[in-house]
Amino acid sequence: MDKRPIALAEIYHLLNPGPVVLVSVEHGGRDNLFPVSWVMPACDDPPVAALLVAREHFSFPLLEASGELGLNLPTLPILDAVYGCGKTSGREVPDKFARFGLHRERATTITAPLVAECVAGIECRVDRIHDVEGSALILARAVAARAAPDCFRDGEWRFEAGLVLCHHLNGARFCLSERAVTARRP
Amino acid sequence: MDKRPIALAEIYHLLNPGPVVLVSVEHGGRDNLFPVSWVMPACDDPPVAALLVAREHFSFPLLEASGELGLNLPTLPILDAVYGCGKTSGREVPDKFARFGLHRERATTITAPLVAECVAGIECRVDRIHDVEGSALILARAVAARAAPDCFRDGEWRFEAGLVLCHHLNGARFCLSERAVTARRP
């Protein structure tokens, strides 16, 4: 998908509406993908994202050792692949890109690949990790990002061209954002 | 709005899809409301929420001193009120409930009121506060919650009765979740 670089100041708007994110990691020649819905912006300037990752997941050591991760924004056409990435482990599936029909896209500042079929990708470096009841609360500094201009332009998600964002509900259920409204100023 | 208690194990499903949340706080007889979109679950058992609050906001000292907050889940009919609560400060508006046509609902375990017009309310106690670039990253333990059964039942958001969740995009823009889909198992 054709994507263009976006400004650092615009990155947090990609995560504001709380969509599910497909995380990409790589270390020592091995990469992996897993969906995360517990992710949010934690700062706009500098751009920082916060996300929860279970330490026992196959991807956690890759993420921890490389200190890098990609946050890829999927939309409805690849929702089954996103869900599949979460229902399988890198321990059993050596190549989740191949298994779920996704393609690697080279990042500019990190080794982990981005996901070509996603409408936006954020390149991050791990800043700090806090513990929350045994899970890793990761604070990751965004260092670069790109987005498909028909979906995200001038710092705004655009729904005119058919964009459908996916938000995780429970199990295999997701709710969908298909339109935007503007609240009235007080 | 008629709401019923929900199980602690179901609480994180309220926050999973990343909706904007109306936070209620109270200390020393003074309460306030402010919207937060940087909020997510941080643990399911025990239920913990993570959210960002700027330390210079009027509400932060109330939250810090009381160690409590309410997370109220608004829907489209009160979106203008939610936005209004964010565009005004407790320093200038002594009663945001009155200013924006909302009503207090007594919580069961915390002093802060919940918002009667919201479809769900989570009662939380502050567990820890980390710093992220000067803002407060609050980890809050959920101790009780209630939800309107036509909107949230058996741990699941339900869209059949017209539920519309609101997710913040940028400025006054929000995207809307109005339906759910089920992803295909891999």
Q: Nearest C-alpha of chain A: how many angstroms from B93?
A: 12
Among chain B residues, the shortest Cα distance to A140 is held by: B132
ipTM of this complex prediction, to 2 decimal places: 0.97
Residue type, A13: H
Residue B55, SS3 per DSSP: coil
Give per-residue pLDDT as tens, B49-68: 999 999 999 999 999 999 99
Nearest CA in chain B to A88: B186
pLDDT in tens, chain A (186 residues): 899 999 999 999 999 999 999 999 999 999 999 999 999 999 999 999 999 999 999 999 999 999 999 999 999 999 999 999 999 999 999 999 999 999 999 999 999 999 999 999 999 999 999 999 999 999 999 999 999 999 999 999 999 999 999 999 999 999 999 999 999 999
Tally of CB atoms within 10 A around A78: 21
- Per-residue tokens: B98: 């009155």
Whether residues B157 and A179 touch (CB distance < 8 A) is answered with no
Q: Which amino acid is at A65?
A: A
Counting every residue, how long is chain A? 186
Report the predicted TM-score, pTM, of the whole model to 2 decimal places. 0.97
- In angstroms, what CA-CA distances link A64 with B42, B72, B133? 19, 35, 22
**Phi and psi for A118 in degrees, rounded to 5?**
-85, 150
Q: Which residues have C-beta within 8 Å of that of residue B25, sequence separation ≥ 6? A: B31, B32, B59, B62, B63, B66, B68, B69, B70, B112
A172:B178 CB<8 A: no
With vertex at residue B69, the alpha carbon angle to CA B7 and CA B180, rounded to the nearest 5 degrees, is 50
Which residues lie below 8 Å from residue B162, measured CB to CB, with a gap of 6+? Answer: none
Q: What is the DSSP string of B91-119?
A: TT-S-HHHHTT--EE--SS-SS-EETTSS
B177 closest CB neighbour out of A37, A41, A177:
A177
